[in-house]
């Protein structure tokens, strides 16, 4: 019997694997269906809540999507353009956060309940992404916020930490084709939520989310031309104040900034 060269099975394996990477769904359709089903806008669209009980019923579907994410190699990822990469990372962060909540739901009141004195929930390596075991902090800080890569401070309105204080979980996936519009819409929704960001005429200060304190450096790096928080808020002054005189003060960077307490309660549907 003629022997089959040892390299032929290897070629067959490589050919079989190639379409899986090439056929990755950049519309993230499975995740999109889950979001549309289980995320609801509240406060006139300035915030949202997640139906975690609904996500739990559809957990097998969620896990199929997570498996799709985990199947992407680093080589494949780096071959994509930056908008596809960033959309992938934001969707991955949000979807794996939902999965983390479901590991203990409904027996938790906050994502912080999933941590301990020694271990942050964001440091748990509970999933595989781009070829290695990862934690949520790696996705956000080592990838999404990496200086010199995506350079967009609006990412802080796109990633969701499963908490009331966080910017809204969007009811659709982020995709490369709509990424800029979606990020802008997320930030505008967040900034017009007076419970989390507002101008106080009595103190003459902006009272804004603690997120802007934690990630102040991202608004000082020159990303998108911003060199300070004041400069960033100046572009969104009309969302932070109602009276023209107050809007003008924000635009002219003539306001102080203070930071509100953060609400870590789970953003569960009532």
User: pLDDT 10s per residue in the chain (270 long)?
Assistant: 444 454 444 443 344 444 444 589 999 999 999 999 999 999 999 999 999 999 999 999 999 999 999 999 999 999 999 999 999 999 999 999 999 999 999 999 999 999 987 889 999 999 999 999 999 999 999 999 999 999 999 999 999 999 999 999 999 999 999 999 999 999 999 999 999 999 999 999 999 999 999 999 999 999 999 999 999 999 999 999 999 999 999 999 999 999 999 999 999 999
Nearest CA to 38 among 113, 110, 98, 112?
98
- Pairwise CA distance, residues 25 & 72, whole Å: 11
Q: pLDDT per residue over 166-185, tens digit each?
A: 999 999 999 999 999 999 99
Cα R_g (the chain), whole angstroms: 21
- Model pTM? 0.91
**pLDDT for residue 113:** 97
Burial class (CB in 10 A: 0-12, 13-18, 19+), 160: buried
Query: 209 CB contacts (<8 Å, ≥6 apart)?
Result: 165, 190, 196, 197, 259, 260, 262
**pLDDT for residue 22:** 58
**pLDDT for residue 209:** 98
């Amino acid at each position: 019997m003629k022997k089959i060269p040892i390299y032929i099975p290897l070629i067959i394996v490589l050919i079989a694997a190639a379409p899986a990477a090439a056929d990755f769904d950049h519309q993230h359709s499975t995740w999109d269906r889950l979001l549309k089903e289980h995320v609801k806008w509240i406060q006139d669209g300035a915030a949202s809540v997640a139906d975690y009980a609904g996500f739990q019923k559809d957990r097998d579907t969620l896990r199929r999507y997570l498996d799709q994410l985990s199947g992407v190699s680093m080589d494949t990822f780096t071959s994509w353009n930056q908008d596809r990469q960033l959309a992938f990372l934001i969707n991955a962060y949000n979807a794996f956060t939902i999965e983390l909540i479901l590991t203990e739901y409904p027996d938790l009141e906050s994502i912080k309940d999933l941590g301990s004195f020694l271990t942050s929930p964001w440091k748990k390596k509970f999933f595989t992404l781009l070829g290695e075991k990862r934690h949520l902090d790696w996705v956000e800080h080592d990838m999404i916020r990496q200086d010199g890569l995506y350079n967009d401070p609006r990412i802080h309105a796109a990633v969701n930490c499963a908490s009331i204080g966080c910017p809204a979980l969007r009811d659709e996936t982020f995709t490369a084709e709509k990424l800029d519009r979606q990020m802008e819409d997320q930030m505008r929704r967040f900034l017009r939520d007076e419970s989390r960001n507002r101008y106080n005429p009595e103190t003459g200060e902006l009272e804004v989310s603690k997120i802007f304190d934690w990630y102040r450096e991202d608004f000082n790096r020159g990303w998108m031309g911003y060199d300070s928080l004041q400069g960033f808020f100046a572009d969104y002054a009309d969302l932070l104040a109602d009276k023209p005189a107050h809007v003008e003060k924000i635009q002219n960077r003539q306001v102080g900034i203070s930071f509100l307490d953060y609400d870590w309660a789970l953003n569960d549907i009532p």
